[in-house]
Structure 1
């Protein structure tokens, strides 16, 4: 069978429609801004490697048309590290696994210093993260005092938080503190979630996100690729995120952590990572897609540039919560070389 014949067969869906999925995506997503459904996202994820250049080019065109050329730069800091009671199988901060990460708190001066260093990179976003099921009174007080100290330091950087599952009262408190965006990842497809976490449900996470959205905060919600999910579940996850209509989707790739149930999982290969990024872009043409944890390990320098030219329009600079990233200046230099301006703080207010 010729390559053309194989492609025709691959492009024919269960209804007998033989329309090429990239041609359809060009008309539907690029021209009209309408994301692909689950069946079409799955077709994208199954495209052969020889169509990758065409796919990445289309994803970049979609990003440029519906999001523009600017890249949002963000730094993150862990306010409370380790000792989490939940059993998220990918996470070295779970207190249920014999990982080397131990419980620790960052003091307010350290938080202010981290915010100042993040702002100095040109970032417009600073995210305060805590490894908890949900915030208690001590944590909420620490966040409140930390934000006040950051402002007293003269720093007007946008502040986001990631503090686990919230109550309605805590949502209101965060709004009153001036937190404009809340991160709470769904992590994976609903059908796969029970294989990843058993101490809480996918639905509990969804409820927190619903409350955050209703309160007027921006929703930041993504997940981790490479946790044993099938390609069908990756397509499922993409459209579930699209249904949530988040402002931002962090794209993480599993970094197998010593002492966790996933410590021996294989690293996602570069082509699969890029194909997944492009598929998520075609499912969510107007959403900010952010390169997050694991991109250095999965993609390396060249792959990172391909991702920026294949649908990504936001990036975390510096280190992650328990893993080292590459130097912030290296990412900033990459953006300069790609002629991608950093989104200004005034544009995010």
Structure 2
């Protein structure tokens, strides 16, 4: 067989992945990820099984459970086309702040589920001093409440001084999603660049905080751009990659987009796991809509090893008890806080 210049003969990509990813822990290349994304439906079970083996081999059997809360909702100046919190779109979400007692209560309820991670999120381009002061006061109050849960933040793009301030507060993980492939980003957001997000992530990593970076599947990207995105994420070596599936939001430019088909979503989960064998892959927003209960179980057996429980920022999720019951039935141990430190 003659291989074109610059191309690799990947043959049966799952056979290649078994040796390359499962045995050696080396993530798939962009071309190889694309081949997984193009697998026919009859190979999907094989892909998910291999992704699960990779997850167990390189990440272990535990599942990390996380809860999130919105500290500042709505009124964001950016034009992320998927987001109902943008102040530029006629969505029903309005600007609101959560007070510190509300933050403490949410953190306590999250810890009571057995979760080890609590992420404080704000709909902003980047934090001003008022927001950082609120976060600082909230972190202090959560600790004063006797809550030992790990605290993460998602506050938009940062300066170096703000990164340093969050480290000093004790924030151990920072979420800032690239959202989609670099080539597709200008079609999704116009008020800031992919590179600006990348710069924040690099500063976070250099400061010693864990990097949480993922995106949303189903925003009009091509299958080639999904493969591009997976490899770009892998280049960051993130601790965690949240996998969201588009929930078309009323009033946004994407309100009439179709929901990602379940098999495509699962194929994407498997492909991302094979691109990032050592990364925590977290089920996040849209999984209930795209996959349903059965699909969620397939995803947990197809490479996913972390999950957000309860509600999302502006959308309802499954009850935490339902997800914890699912993990118990799948005999997947919930990661203990002592294992997360």
Q: Same fold (TM over 0.5)?
A: yes
Distance in 2 separating the partners of 1:17 and 1:234: 21
Deviations 1:41-69 (A, max 9, x none): 00000000000111100000000000000
Deviation at 1:323, TM superposition (A): 0.0
Q: Does 2:144 correspond to 1:152? A: yes
Find the counterpart in structure 2 of residue 94 from structure 1: 86
Distance in 1 between residues matched to 2:106 and 2:5, nearest whole Å? 51
| Deviation sequence 1:232-289 (CA, Å, 0-9, x none) | 0000000000001000000000000000000000000000000000000000000000
What is the CA–CA distance in structure 1 between the aligned matches of 2:13 and 2:4, rounded to whole Å? 9
Is the 2:288–2:317 contact (alpha carbons within 8 Å) kept by the matching residues of 1? yes
Decide whether aligned partners of structure 1 residues 57 and 80 sit closer, same or farther in structure 2, where only a CA change above 3 A counts: same
The 1:267/1:12 distance shift into structure 2, 3 A limit, reads farther
Tell me the C-alpha RMSD between the 2 structures. 1.4
Displacement of 1:15 in angstroms is: 4.5
* Aligned ranges 1:156-195 → 2 under 5 Å: 156-195=148-187
Look up the match of 1:203.
Answer: 195
1:142 aligns with 2:131: no
Give, in whole Å, the separation in 1 of the partners of 2:5 and 2:202: 34
1:333 aligns with 2:322: no
Alignment equivalent of 2:227, drawn from 221, 230, 235: 235
Tell me if structure 2 keeps the 8 A contact 1:12–1:18.
Answer: no
Tell me, in whole angstroms, the C-alpha distance in 2 between the residues paired with 1:16 and 1:348.
39
Tell me, in whole angstroms, the C-alpha distance in 2 between the residues paired with 1:18 and 1:263.
Answer: 38
Match in the other structure for 2:309:
317
Q: Which residue of 2 aligns with 1:119?
A: 111
Task: Summarize the Cα distance change of 1:166–1:18 in structure 2 as closer, same or farther, 3 Å threshold.
Answer: closer
Q: Cα distance, 1:120 vs. partner?
A: 0.1
Moved over 2 A (4+): 11-19
* Separation in structure 1 between the aligned mates of residue 33 and residue 65 of structure 2, nearest angstrom: 27
- Indicate conservation of the 8 Å contact 1:12/1:19, yes or no: no
1:280-291 equivalences under 5 Å are 280-291=272-283
For residues 328 and 233 of structure 1, what CA distance do their matches in structure 2 show?
33
CA–CA separation in structure 2 for the residues paired with 1:177 and 1:51: 47
Displacement after TM superposition at 1:19 (Å): 2.2
Aligned partners of 2:248 and 2:257 also within 8 Å? yes
**Alpha-carbon distance, 1:39 to partner:** 0.2
2:257 maps to what in 1? 265
Shift of 1:96: 0.1
Displacement of 1:17: 2.5
Q: 1:327 to 1:129 in 2, by over 3 A?
A: same
Deviation sequence 1:265-319 (CA, Å, 0-9, x none): 0000000000000000000000000000000000000000000000000000000
TM-score by length of 2: 0.98
Contact 1:76 1:129 in 2 (8 A): yes
Count of equivalent residues:
340
**Cα distance in structure 1, aligned partners of 2:266 and 2:227:** 14
Residue equivalent to 1:51: 43
Distance verdict in 2 for CA 1:18–1:219, change over 3 Å: closer
Partner of 1:344: 336
Contact kept? 1:256, 1:263, Cα under 8 Å: yes
Match of 2:61 in 1: 69
Aligned to 1:307: 299
- Contact 1:281–1:311 (CA<8 Å) still a contact in 2? yes
SS at match of 1:330: helix
Task: Report how far residue 327 of structure 1 moved.
Answer: 0.4
State the secondary structure of the residue aligned to 1:257: coil
Residue number among 121, 125, 139 corresponding to 1:133 in the alignment: 125
- TM-score normalised by the chain length of structure 1: 0.96
Q: Is the 8 A contact 2:10 2:32 kept in 1?
A: no
